[in-house]
Structure 1
Amino acid sequence: MLGLRRQSPPSWYQDRLDDEVREVVAAKSPLEKLSETSDILFSIIRARYDGFPVHEPPLFVNYRHVLVYAYMLGKFTLRWKFYRTAAYLCKAPHCDSVREVVNPGKDHKLQEVASRHHIDPERFERVCWWLRWVFPLLP
């Protein structure tokens, strides 16, 4: 559904997973830990789907817990809808092709999304800033 491209080199998958593990360790609140744990789960699932099994961190054996799955599904669904809405409001040429789930709270990510979809970056950033006030996003 997201249409994510396979990454190269194959070590990209393990590197991303290692980054996510560091973010869980740095997380302060239980909600931040849950969010970052859902990112670990997403990274593992994506690597397996793309045919690159990764070494799962032993500290996070309980990632299979239903709460993490539910949180991950909600978070990525809301982000997907957020970006679709932003692209539509910016009158993007192909807003149906926008399938992003990166954190919209990080401005540099907004610039990357705008660039990938040929959307005016300044307008896209303004629309996303406004949408963050009215759109129920999870961290």
Structure 2
Amino acid sequence: MDEDEIAPVPVIPVIFFGDELDQQWTGRLIVTTESGTTYFIDASRNRLQRVRGSEMPDDPEVGFPSRLRRDGDELVLLRIVHLELGQRAVFDLEPLGDPTQVSFTRRTTTYVTSIRELGSVPDEEEQ
């Protein structure tokens, strides 16, 4: 292979939540994107936390991770619009602006490089 040639990389969906989202799904995920940003999702509590990447990505085509409102805060997750390995994830969140003007905030990520499902969170009664 010529060094200027780009080798194909297989993209295999691990989890796809689009129109087929099971409303009863209550798992926990860690989603990492090409910018190095990590999203912690707890569907049982309808929460999403974005932790901004802190290093410049290796790929010169990918910019330094953006600073977004309420980074690091746990936000109400209204809907997972799309989540698939190798594609951009799309999340609908609680309104981050004036709630009299907007009904939700949509966040679209850089390309998803990793999706890991975590074990369930024990109920408070079980602890």
Shorter-chain TM-score category?
Answer: under 0.3
TM-score (norm 2): 0.27
Larger % of helix: which? 1
Report which structure shows greater RCO (CA 8 Å, sep ≥6).
2
Structure holding more strand per residue:
2
TM-score, normalising length: structure 1:
0.26
